[in-house]
Amino acid sequence: MPHIICFRRAILHILPDHVLHRVRPAMAEMERCAQGERDMEYTTLGRTGLKVSVAGLGCGGNSRVGIGAGKSIAEAADIIRAAFDMGVTYIDTARLYGTEPAVGLALKGRQRDKIVISTKSTIRLEGERISPDCLANHLDESLSHLHTDYVDVFFLHGVSLLDYDYARDVLAPAILKERDKGKFRYLGITEPAANDPEQLTIRRAVDDEKCWDVMMLAFHMLHQTARANVFPKTQAGGIGTVMMYVVRNIFSRPGLLVEKVRGLIEGGKLSPEGIDPDDPLGFLEDEAESLIDAAYRFSRHQKGADTVLFGTGNVDHLKANIESILRPSLPEAYLARLHALFGHLTGVGLDSPEHLRR
pLDDT for res 352: 77
Choose among 65, 55, 99: nearest CA to 313: 65
Residue 150 CA to residue 179 CA, distance in Å, equals 9
pLDDT for res 85: 98
Q: Are 164 and 204 in contact (CB under 8 A)?
A: yes
Backbone dihedral angles phi then psi of residue 57, each to the nearest 5 degrees: -80, 115
**Is beta strand 214-218 parallel, antiparallel or unpaired with respect to 151-157?**
unpaired
Please give the helix or strand (H or E) that residue 49 lies within, else none: none
**Is beta strand 214-218 parallel, antiparallel or unpaired with respect to 240-244?**
parallel
For the chain, the C-alpha Rg in angstroms (whole number) is 20
Q: Are 204 and 163 in contact (CB under 8 A)?
A: no
Residue 350 CA to residue 260 CA, distance in Å, equals 11
pLDDT for res 351: 85
Residue 144 CA to residue 141 CA, distance in Å, equals 5
pTM score > 0.75 for this model? yes
Domain boundaries, the chain: 1-36, 37-357
Per-residue pLDDT of the chain (358 residues; tens, 9 = 90+): 444 444 555 555 566 665 655 555 555 555 554 455 789 999 999 999 999 999 999 999 999 999 999 999 999 999 999 999 999 999 999 999 999 999 999 999 999 999 999 999 999 999 999 999 999 999 999 999 999 999 999 999 999 999 999 999 999 999 999 999 999 999 999 999 999 999 999 999 999 999 999 999 999 999 999 999 999 999 999 999 999 999 989 999 889 999 999 999 999 999 999 999 999 999 999 999 999 999 999 999 999 999 999 999 999 999 999 999 999 999 999 999 999 999 999 999 998 776 555 5
Task: Tell the CATH topology of 37-357.
Answer: TIM Barrel (3.20.20)
Q: Are 171 and 134 in contact (CB under 8 A)?
A: no
Please give the helix or strand (H or E) that residue 128 lies within, else none: strand 128-129
Please give the helix or strand (H or E) that residue 320 lies within, else none: helix 315-325
Identity at 235, one-letter amino acid code: Q
The dihedral over CA atoms of 163, 196, 198, 296, expressed in degrees to the nearest 10, equals: 130
* Residue 273 Ramachandran class (φ > 0 left, ψ -120 to 50 alpha, else beta): beta
Q: Label residue 129 exposed, middle or buried (CB < 10 Å: 0-12, 13-18, 19+).
A: middle
Residue 299 CA to residue 297 CA, distance in Å, equals 6
pLDDT for res 347: 95
Q: Are 186 and 155 in contact (CB under 8 A)?
A: no
